[in-house]
Amino acid sequence: MYLGRSKRRIAGVAAVTAAALLAVGCGSSSSSPPPGSAGTKVTGGTVTMAEEPGAQPNWIWPFTPITNYSVYNSQYFQWLMYRPLYMFGNNGNSETVNYPLSPATAPVYSNGGKTVVVNMKGWKWSDGETVSAANVVFWLNMMEAEKANYAGYAPGTMPDNLVSYKATGPNQVTIQLDKGYSSYWFTYNQLAEITPMPLAWDVTSAGAKAGSGGCTTDTASAKWAKCKAVYNFLVAQSKATSTYATSPIWGTVNGPWKLSSFNTSGNVTFVPNSKYSGSPKAILAQFKEVPYTDLSATFTALKTGSVDIGHIQTADLPQRSGTSPVPATNPLGSGYTLMPFYQYSIAYYQPNFNNPTFGAVFKQLYIRQALQYAVDQPGMDKAIYRGYSDPTSGGVPAAPTNQWVPSNQTSNGGQGPYPFSVSKATSLLTSHGWSMVGGVMTCQKPGSGAGQCGAGIAKGTPFKFTLDWATGSTSAQQVVSVYKSDASKAGIDITLVGQSFNTVIGESTPCKPGPKCTWDALRYGGWVFNGPGFEPTGEPLFQTGAGSNSGSYSNSQMDSLINQTHTSSSLTVFHNYATYVAQQLPYIWLPADYYVEGVNSKLHNVGFNPFYTLLPEYWYFTK
């Protein structure tokens, strides 16, 4: 998700072993709070948390399109009110499924991995309806009807791989698959996409009787006409952001929080859902998310004590030294505690392979290699991130440490196969028919033969493109500026256009070649493997036709390697895929920084999860 995801398969599937469950993360799936909690709990109180600049929530329905798909709409907004079928992460560093916080028990696999049974716990929605098998069927029917409009869809994955599904009891769903799949992958990257939806949402007009829309009982033979009508209504309701807090549709919740107030500027207030079936129940009286124009403004708010939790940009931190993840000197003083916030993420910018004027250039592997050689990740870590980042070198996060990382990603000090080298970038271009014209590399030898620029690249094409980047932090601006400067030394001319995060991801719809497919490259930050998919396989990002494959990257060998990770739990099979990603550069990798958060010293039991799982119901003040 905009800013994932060794398995072992026995006789086609079998249950995930405890070792496999723990290997991906640095914690357990327990719902218990992190260590270090102290003080006497005070019931009540209001916590204010600073939103990331330009990333205020703007989509409430968990069936989210790519243009709105971010952790700030899901984990930081939707999940507080609408629990997914399976929760992942905890109030700490766990990177595994969390069954205690989920409305369903662990799935049961049989028939060589072709049959999956999901049993619901019988939780309640706030309107009294049971969180039932019908709610799961409602979601699956919607996926069948509108998969092209769901960010998590990739061809061949759910719902394409479902032969059938039905409620085999009030609280049980049985799913038949087209073949045996790895139970780890299917749980972490398929069932993880499902969010049970109440019958209160199965309507086509405000005030209509719950379930009257008919999507829950719709069929393929009817061409999903009822689901499509419900979809159109719910999309319209999702776009009406000013009504979020007053809409009876969105007021039906099954999570620990419900929306009290919301405005389009990003001021969001949650209050406890007194009818929440799970545990723990919220201790706070209110949880507020508040907007700031940039991280400098967030830092000022922390310094003045006007916000309880906020991300401190590295420009406001001392240089990191030693092994501690936080600096020895606290720039906020004793009123705040500094805490690391690791993200299970990769950072990059995304080329548009279907851009009508520059897509043919991006499609050449040597071009992407030259672009990667121009990224000075060690220099950026030292000078910009002040030691609070790790290099990205492929499709698997380097930190926290995990078994999915292939050996070629750890080469060259973690930079992977293409460490910073302007000379290598230059040599690649000149050896493929480019030469300097007015300080910019220009194609002089068109064609697809040896020593030529490549198919579709005309003579005289300058190596010029525009990089749209998400504003809001000093470090983001510095990264793209340093990159532009280093790339220019190799004759690569990059125009930088800064826009808000929501604006940049709003551009990221995959597009067909043509005059409307205008963006060249996007830098919105990166991808956290926390939905759709928590195992870092590549179907959300790199598979041909995937909903989140904004740049329309397509490679048949990549597709094959991705598909193999779905059915085999062999770590070797996974590493074959991950090695290929690092070699092929579907994206251009950038350093992935971790956050240092300032937390009010009177606020306790706060945890920051690498999946961005936000659980303020664990938090409390002390006197």
Please state, in angstroms and rounded to a whole number, the distance separating the CA atoms of residues 86 and 136. 12
441 within some domain: no
**Among 37-51, 253-267, 494-508, which is the least confidently predicted range?**
37-51
pLDDT at 38: 57
pLDDT at 416: 98
Same domain as 415, residue 362: yes
118 within some domain: no
Helix ranges (DSSP H) in 492-608: 501-506, 556-567, 571-584
Same domain as 331, residue 356: no
Number of domains in the chain: 2
Same domain as 406, residue 506: yes
Same domain as 404, residue 290: no
Q: What percent of the chain has pLDDT over 90?
A: 87
Q: What is the DSSP letter of 473?
A: -
Helix ranges (DSSP H) in 107-224: 133-146, 183-189
Is the pLDDT confidence value at 26 over 60? no
φ and ψ of 98, to 5 deg: -120, 90
Same domain as 351, residue 274: no
* Confidence category of residue 96, pLDDT binned at 50, 70, 90: very high
Higher pLDDT, 167 or 509: 167
Is the pLDDT confidence value at 99 over 60? yes
What's the pLDDT tens digit per position in 485-515? 999 999 999 999 999 999 998 998 899 988 8
In 3D space, the residue among 92, 74, 1, 62 whose CA is nearest the CA of residue 400 turns out to be 92
Same domain as 505, residue 369: yes
* For residues 138-142, average pLDDT: 98
pLDDT at 533: 87
Torsion 521-526-529-530 (CA) sign: negative
CATH of residue 582 = 3.10.105.10
φ and ψ of 261, to 5 deg: -150, 155
Predicted model pTM: 0.86
Sheet of 268-272, strands arranged across: 257-262, 268-272, 286-290, 46-50, 309-312, 595-600, 336-341
Is the pLDDT confidence value at 33 over 70? no
265 within some domain: yes
Same domain as 616, residue 494: no
| Partners of residue 496 on adjacent β-strands | 467
What is the chain's alpha carbon radius of gyration, rounded to the nearest angstrom?
Answer: 24
284 within some domain: yes
Same domain as 502, residue 418: yes
The token duo for 312 is 């401190």
Same domain as 493, residue 385: yes
How much is the mean pLDDT over the chain?
A: 92
Same domain as 579, residue 468: yes
Torsion 275-280-283-286 (CA) sign: negative
* Confidence category of residue 594, pLDDT binned at 50, 70, 90: very high
pLDDT at 92: 94
Is the pLDDT confidence value at 21 over 60? no
Cβ atoms < 10 Å from Cβ of 420: 20
Size (the chain), residues: 623
φ and ψ of 166, to 5 deg: -165, 160
* For residues 587-593, average pLDDT: 97
CATH of residue 620 = 3.40.190
Element containing residue 142 per DSSP (H, E) = helix 133-146
Higher pLDDT, 28 or 285: 285
pLDDT at 39: 63
What's the pLDDT tens digit per position in 466-475? 999 999 889 9
* For residues 542-569, average pLDDT: 95
601 within some domain: no
* For residues 48-64, average pLDDT: 96
Same domain as 411, residue 270: no
Is the pLDDT confidence value at 1 over 60? no
* For residues 58-86, average pLDDT: 96
121 within some domain: no
Please state, in angstroms and rounded to a whole number, the distance separating the CA atoms of residues 196 and 198. 7
61 within some domain: yes
pLDDT at 32: 38
pLDDT at 208: 97
217 within some domain: no
Contact 546, 414 (CB under 8 A): no
* For residues 247-263, average pLDDT: 97
Distance from first CA to last CA of the chain, Å, rounded?
A: 38
Cβ-based neighbours of 112, under 8 Å, separated by 6 or more: 11, 12, 13, 180
* For residues 393-421, average pLDDT: 95
- Show the domain range for 318: 37-90+254-340+608-623
Omega within 30 of 0 (cis) for the link into 280: yes
pLDDT at 40: 83
| Partners of residue 499 on adjacent β-strands | 470
* For residues 588-602, average pLDDT: 97
Same domain as 368, residue 320: no
CA 217 to chain centre: 31
